[in-house]
Structures are given as structure tokens and as C-alpha cells.
């Protein structure tokens, strides 16, 4: 398996522009997670899906952020409009089942977003 | 959720065992102990997890004390490629919370 795939790997955009990050989870994994990592705040969970349905979006910072999972093999995280403080590395992860039963998460390589 | 405490940094000589401690004194009975690591610029990598018993896989061993208030991750023969930040996480749900971790530096 190719693992979790994210695109783009790097994104540089100007403040006010729309940014879309993409993720393809490992085939057969029912859970998909979006994280953000910054030096100041570390690694934070933004939202996670189970069977394409958003379960917990309490980590989404504000209404400028939205995430969708139209099918089992694709998810997007959109920021509109983007701001410089959104600059971070965004990771997507997937797992076979709920972490409640003790399974591992597999992380993608991340998208490094820079908003100028 | 149980809070974890890890030393901010550790050094280990190449070829020796690296023993990374983690305190989780408020852990509850159904919370798993997870270990992940993050090599610079890469996504976190799962290492091992356990509930009550000690666990071993091809990467590491996890030793959990009988009262479950602390655990130790053991890398039996550390290599330079094991240099990374190691995260100990105690969690019952899907909301994984990564703390600051331990920065392990393996030295030749």
C-alpha cells in the first residue's frame, strides 16, 4: 500500500486566497483525521471522519476552515480566506477502526502551508 | 483524559538501548498507552501501544508498570535513524493529543 497520500506537499499563497488540501487515506480504513502542527501549539487534531461522516470538528479553529469527505478514498480541508496565522504543516491520518479499541494511526507526509 | 509527562530530551549512544520514560499517573482503566515518533519534517509514525501487558514488536518494546502509572519505551539497539521526537499518549477516544514529547538524539 502507498500509505496516506497528501497533496500538495508545499503550498505558498497570499492572504485572502482560498487553499485546498487533499488527502487519500489507506484503502479500507474507516477513520480519517486532519491535524495541524505549529511550533507554538504542537500537533492539534482539527476534525475526524468515520465512514465519510464528520464525527468531531471541535478542533476546527473557525468558520474559515471546512473539511469534506465525499467518498471513502478522498478528503479535503479548505481554508477560505487564508490568513498568515494559518501557516503550518497539515497532516492527514487514517486508521482501520476507532482508536478506542487500540489501533494505530497512519500519517501522511503532510502539506506545508505558507500564507504571506 | 490522563496527562503524560516526558523528559524534554535524551541522548543515547548508537547501538545501545534507548529507554524513554513516560509518567501517566492519572490513567484510567480503559485508556491505552500509545507511542509515536516524528522524524524531522515527516509525519508521526506509530511505534507501539498497550493497555496492561508489556508489548513487543519489530520496532520496540513497551513496558507498563503494574499500577499503569508509568511506562517505558525501549529501542533495543538504537541507530542514528532513530533520532526523533517520541510522543507518549494516553487516550481512550479518537482525539489523540500529542504533547511536547522527548527529543531523542542518537550519537555515534
pLDDT surpassing 90 at residue A65: yes
How many CA atoms lie less than 13 Å away from B52 in the CB half-sphere? 4
Best B32, B36, B43 residue to mutate vs chain A (most A CBs within 10 Å): B43
pLDDT surpassing 60 at residue A111: yes
Cβ of B94 within 8 Å of Cβ of A100? The answer is yes
DSSP annotation of A5: E
* Dihedral (CA of B44, A43, B3, A58) sign: negative
pLDDT surpassing 70 at residue B92: no
Tell me, rounded to whole angstroms, the distance of Cα B93 from its chain centroid. 18
**Average pLDDT of chain B to the nearest whole number:** 92
pLDDT the model gives residue B96? 78
Give A91's contacts in chain B (Cβ within 8 Å). Answer: 43-44
Of the candidates B92, B94, B99, which has its C-beta nearest A56's C-beta? B94
How many CA atoms lie less than 13 Å away from B31 in the CB half-sphere? 23
What is the C-alpha to C-alpha distance for residues A23 and A74, in angstroms, rounded to an integer? 6
| Stretch B91-102: mean pLDDT | 82
Cβ of B46 within 8 Å of Cβ of A109? The answer is no
What is the C-alpha to C-alpha distance for residues A109 and B57, in angstroms, rounded to an integer? 23
Contacts of A21 (CB under 8 A, 6+ apart): A6, A7, A8, A11, A76, A77, A78, A90, A92, A111, A113
Cβ-based interface (< 8 Å): residues of A facing B: 4, 31, 33, 42-43, 45, 48, 55-56, 59, 91, 93, 98-100, 102, 104-110
Cβ of A102 within 8 Å of Cβ of B98? The answer is no
- φ, ψ of residue B6 to 5 degrees: the values are -130, 150
For chain A, percent of residues with pLDDT exceeding 70: 99
Mean pLDDT is lowest, of B9-23, B35-49, B93-107, for B93-107
Cβ of A42 within 8 Å of Cβ of B32? The answer is no
Q: CA dihedral in degrees (B71, B26, B37, B50; nearest 10)?
A: 60
**Beta strand pairing status for B18-23 and B70-75?**
antiparallel
- φ, ψ of residue A12 to 5 degrees: the values are -120, 125
Give A33's contacts in chain B (Cβ within 8 Å). Answer: 94, 96
Cβ of A109 within 8 Å of Cβ of B43? The answer is yes
CB pairs under 8 A between A and B: 51
Give A110's contacts in chain B (Cβ within 8 Å). Answer: 41-43
Amino acid at each position: 500500500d502507498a500509505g496516506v497520500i497528501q497533496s500538495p506537499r508545499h503550498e505558498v499563497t497570499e492572504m485572502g486566497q482560498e487553499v485546498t488540501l487533499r488527502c487519500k487515506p489507506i484503502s479500507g480504513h474507516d477513520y480519517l483525521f486532519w491535524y495541524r502542527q505549529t511550533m507554538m501549539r504542537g500537533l492539534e487534531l482539527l476534525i475526524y471522519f468515520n465512514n465519510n461522516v464528520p464525527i468531531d470538528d471541535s478542533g476546527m479553529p473557525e468558520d474559515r476552515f471546512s473539511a469534506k469527505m465525499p467518498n471513502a478514498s478522498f478528503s479535503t480541508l479548505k481554508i477560505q480566506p487564508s490568513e498568515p496565522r494559518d501557516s503550518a504543516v497539515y497532516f492527514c491520518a487514517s486508521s482501520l477502526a476507532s482508536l478506542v479499541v487500540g489501533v494505530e494511526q497512519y500519517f501522511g507526509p503532510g502539506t506545508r502551508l505558507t500564507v504571506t | 483524559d490522563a496527562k503524560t509527562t516526558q523528559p524534554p530530551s535524551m541522548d543515547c549512544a548508537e547501538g545501545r538501548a534507548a529507554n524513554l520514560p513516560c509518567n501517566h499517573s492519572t490513567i484510567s482503566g480503559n485508556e491505552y498507552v500509545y507511542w509515536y515518533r516524528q522524524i524531522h519534517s515527516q509525519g508521526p509514525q506509530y511505534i507501539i501501544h498497550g493497555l496492561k501487558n508489556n508489548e513487543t514488536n519489530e520496532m520496540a518494546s513497551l513496558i507498563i508498570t503494574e499500577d499503569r502509572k508509568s511506562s517505558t519505551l525501549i529501542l533495543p539497539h538504537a541507530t542514528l535513524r532513530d533520532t526523533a521526537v517520541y510522543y507518549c499518549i494516553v487516550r481512550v477516544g479518537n482525539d489523540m493529543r500529542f504533547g511536547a514529547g522527548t527529543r531523542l538524539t542518537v550519537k555515534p
